[in-house]
Amino acid sequence: MAVATDQFQFVRQLVQTRTAIVLGEDKKYLVDSRLAPLARDLGFGDADAVVQHLRRVPNLALEQRILEALTTNETLWFRDRQPFEALASHVLPQLVQRNAATRQLRIWSAACSSGQEIYSLAMLLDEQFPELRNHWHVDLFGTDFCTEMVTRATEGLYSTLEVNRGLPASLLVRYFDREGANWRLKPHVRSRARFGTMNLAGPWPPMSAFDLVLMRNVLIYFDVPTKERLLKAAGNQLAPGGYVLLGAAETAVGLCTDLTPVRLGDAVFYSAKGPRS
């Protein structure tokens, strides 16, 4: 059954309030198709049933899953071009110079999904900072709430649909090997990254400081107190001179006084205030 008008309007309102994305009046079919797999997973008959359930029994976790199904495009290489350009032209040269004595670079992708973000960085580093290939310890660490995503990221195996998403063809042929209908990242790129499960909303395990914390497009899923807590924690996780990067539509301004926005190239990064920076 197609999603009823009531349910559709509820979802439109929810998406707009929580993500500022406006679903057009003609996107009912999209709600049907994107929520159908979620409905199946949760044992509901269809999209309409799962939305009806949420309306009857408000549930933040379910709300998030619905939002995620409707809005996420996280399986994208080099997602949003500006931050990657800024990383290549400003941030990484700065970090590499700053860490020249220790020859260590530590980067954390805090919601790594199936690994595209951290592997995009691995390719960028390999292409543009070849001096790091030898005699440097580069730690690219990805964590995700979802175990399945962590497994997928570790495997580094992607479908054609996935490699079509934002990955320049020149990098596809250089860094991937075809395996049947799929594409696997070459071992020398895969081996540069490590992955683990972690719930950002829960207590964080002890971790060493990072030069760069990528926490992009995660905050939208949390309420304001949690956002504040996560931003503060991300700031505390920074090595001196390090940066936090948020999603293109996200900001720490008004949520976290420990972080100071810094415009580098065409992107905004956040540095930690106080003695750490």
Partner 1 sequence: MRALVVDDSRAMRTILTRILRRAGVDEVSEASDGKDAIARLDGAALPDFMLVDWNMPNMNGLELVGALRHHPQWRGITIVMVTTESEQSQIVRALAAGAHEYVIKPFEEESLIEKLAILGFGLQETLADGTEPMGQEAYSP
Residues lying near partner 1 in the complex (CB under 8 A) are found at 21, 23, 27, 29-30, 33-34, 71, 73, 76, 78, 81, 160-161, 163-166, 168-170, 172-173, 176-178, 181
Closest to partner 1 by CB, 57 or 181: 181
Q: Taking CA 106 as the corner, what is the angle to CA 104 and CA 112, rounded to the nearest 5 degrees?
A: 155
CB atoms near residue 222 (< 10 Å): 16
Closest to partner 1 by CB, 40 or 137: 40
The nearest distance, CB 210 to partner 1, in angstroms, is 28
The nearest distance, CB 117 to partner 1, in angstroms, is 15
The per-residue DSSP string of 103-163 comes to TEEEEEETT-TTSHHHHHHHHHHHHH-GGGSSS-EEEEEEEES-HHHHHHHHHTEEEHHHH
Q: Taking CA 132 as the corner, what is the angle to CA 129 and CA 134, rounded to the nearest 5 degrees?
A: 140
The nearest distance, CB 78 to partner 1, in angstroms, is 8
Pairing of strands 267-272, 238-246: antiparallel
Closest to partner 1 by CB, 29 or 40: 29
Distance of CA 84 to the CA centre of its chain: 13
The nearest distance, CB 170 to partner 1, in angstroms, is 6
The nearest distance, CB 260 to partner 1, in angstroms, is 29
DSSP conformational letter for 202 = S
Closest to partner 1 by CB, 162 or 258: 162
Backbone angles phi and psi of 89, in degrees to 5 = -95, -30
The nearest distance, CB 160 to partner 1, in angstroms, is 5
- Please report which helix (H) or strand (E) contains residue 185, including its range: strand 182-185
Closest to partner 1 by CB, 13 or 236: 13
Closest to partner 1 by CB, 6 or 177: 177
Closest to partner 1 by CB, 1 or 181: 181
- 56 by Cβ neighbours in 10 Å (0-12 / 13-18 / 19+) ranks as exposed
The nearest distance, CB 54 to partner 1, in angstroms, is 20
The position carrying tokens 């990067």 is: 245
